[in-house]
Structures are given as structure tokens and as C-alpha cells.
């Protein structure tokens, strides 16, 4: 039983690799102003009962071709008092400027030293108008797939072994009678 609980815990960590321990959901949203300037918003749905990393200040933006790397300094927000805590949305923005038609990728990184949180998003501009690109479902990275496969095989082996031992004990008990 202990092994099954441990497996479930590790699997939960594998299935939510991009979700930080603090945020319940992270997303990049895109908007366009009338003159054509594109703005991205980092939206974090957080549990304010816990301390959580909050991107602060003016974000650093680096454009390489059609990819933007955005990074923010981070502070840990203090937990809210119990009577005021709950689930809230925290948003911060960065202006990407006026851009020519094309598909763009934005990678926004923030977090504490040694614990980076990375959020990705894509958008397109066609005839100067913003077209959002639906982001595919999150996927496991190669090391996460390997660990998942090992945990799945280990769990299957444990279940098979425990059932084999049970049936052997029943057979042996039946022969003793």
C-alpha cells in the first residue's frame, strides 16, 4: 500500500511539471491595441493562503526572430490571513510592440533561484490582426516519460506479484486441507 501511495505522489509530480507548487494555473494571454501593438499578459491563478512567487517590476524582453524570451524578477508574496485567503488571479503584462505578420512564440520565465517557472504561448498576426494560436495540451518531457514508464512498470509488477503471491497462498492452503 505504501508503494502505491508513493507511486501516485510521484506520478502527480510528473503530470504537473510546469505547474509550480504555488500556482494552480499559468497562462499567457495576448491582446492588440488599436495601433497594432501586441501585449502579452502572464496570468497566474494562485492560492493566496500560501506564499507564492510573484513576478514584479518591468519584465526583460529579448526578441530573437519570431521568439520572445520574457523574464521577470520574482518576490515571494506573503500568505494572506486565513480570513482573506483563497483562489485569486494575478496578472502582469509586457508590451511586445508592433510586429509584422507571422507566428510568434513567447516564453515567459520567472521564479525563485533554482526553481524557474516557464510559461509558453503562441500567437499569429495576419493582415495586421491578432490571431491566437491554440496551445496544445502540455506534454511530458523525455526524462518525465522515462520515469513515468518505470513507475508504471514497477506498479504493474507490484500488482502482479501481490496477486501471484495471493493465488499461490490460496493454492497452498487448499492443498493442505
Q: Rounded CA gap, 43 and 27, in Å? A: 5
Q: What is the mean pLDDT of residues 7-14?
A: 51
More confident residue, 28 or 115: 28
Residues 13 and 25 in one domain: no
Report how far Cα 112 is from the mean position of its chain's Cα atoms: 15
Residues 11 and 52 in one domain: no
> Residue length, the chain?
177
Residues 6 and 33 in one domain: no
Q: Return phi, psi of residue 119, to 5°.
A: -125, 130
Residues 119 and 144 in one domain: no
Give residue 23's pLDDT band: very low, low, confident or very high (50, 70, 90): low
Residue ending a domain, among 96, 115, 132, is 132
Residues 105 and 49 in one domain: yes
Residues 59 and 114 in one domain: yes
Query: Can you give the pLDDT at residue 21?
Result: 47
pLDDT in tens, 42-100: 998 888 887 778 888 899 999 999 999 999 988 888 887 887 888 888 899 999 999 99
More confident residue, 80 or 101: 101
Residues 55 and 70 in one domain: yes
Residue 127 CB-half CA count within 13 A: 0
Residues 37 and 108 in one domain: yes
Q: Are the CB atoms for 106 and 68 separated by under 8 Å?
A: yes
Domains held by the chain: number = 2
Residues 45 and 102 in one domain: yes
Residues 30 and 82 in one domain: yes
Q: Are the CB atoms for 86 and 49 separated by under 8 Å?
A: yes
Query: Can you give the pLDDT at residue 15?
Result: 47
Residues 47 and 102 in one domain: yes
Residues 69 and 156 in one domain: no
- Whether this prediction's pTM lies above 0.75 is answered by no
Query: Which residue range is the domain that position 127 belongs to?
Result: 21-132
The percentage of residues in the chain with a pLDDT greater than 90, rounded to a whole number, is 31
Query: Can you give the pLDDT at residue 112?
Result: 80
Query: Can you give the pLDDT at residue 87?
Result: 84
Query: Can you give the pLDDT at residue 19?
Result: 40
Per the rule left: phi > 0, alpha: psi between -120 and 50, beta: everything else, 86 is left
Amino acid at each position: 500500500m505504501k508503494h502505491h501511495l508513493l507511486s501516485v505522489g510521484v506520478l502527480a509530480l510528473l503530470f504537473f511539471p510546469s505547474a509550480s507548487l504555488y500556482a494552480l494555473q499559468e497562462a499567457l494571454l495576448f491582446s492588440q491595441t488599436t495601433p497594432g501593438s501586441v501585449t502579452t499578459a502572464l496570468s497566474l491563478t494562485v492560492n493566496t493562503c500560501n506564499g507564492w512567487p510573484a513576478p514584479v517590476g518591468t519584465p526583460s524582453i529579448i526578441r530573437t526572430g519570431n521568439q520572445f524570451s520574457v523574464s521577470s524578477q520574482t518576490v515571494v508574496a506573503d500568505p494572506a490571513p486565513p480570513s482573506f485567503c483563497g483562489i485569486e488571479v494575478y496578472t502582469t503584462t509586457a508590451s511586445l510592440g508592433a510586429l509584422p505578420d507571422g507566428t510568434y512564440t513567447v516564453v515567459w520565465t520567472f521564479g525563485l533561484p533554482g526553481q524557474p517557472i516557464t510559461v509558453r504561448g503562441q500567437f499569429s498576426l495576419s493582415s495586421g490582426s491578432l490571431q491566437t494560436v491554440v496551445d496544445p495540451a502540455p506534454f511530458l518531457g523525455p526524462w518525465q516519460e522515462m520515469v513515468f514508464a518505470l513507475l508504471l512498470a514497477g506498479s504493474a509488477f507490484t500488482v502482479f506479484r501481490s496477486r501471484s503471491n495471493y493465488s499461490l497462498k490460496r493454492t497452498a492452503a487448499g492443498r493442505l486441507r
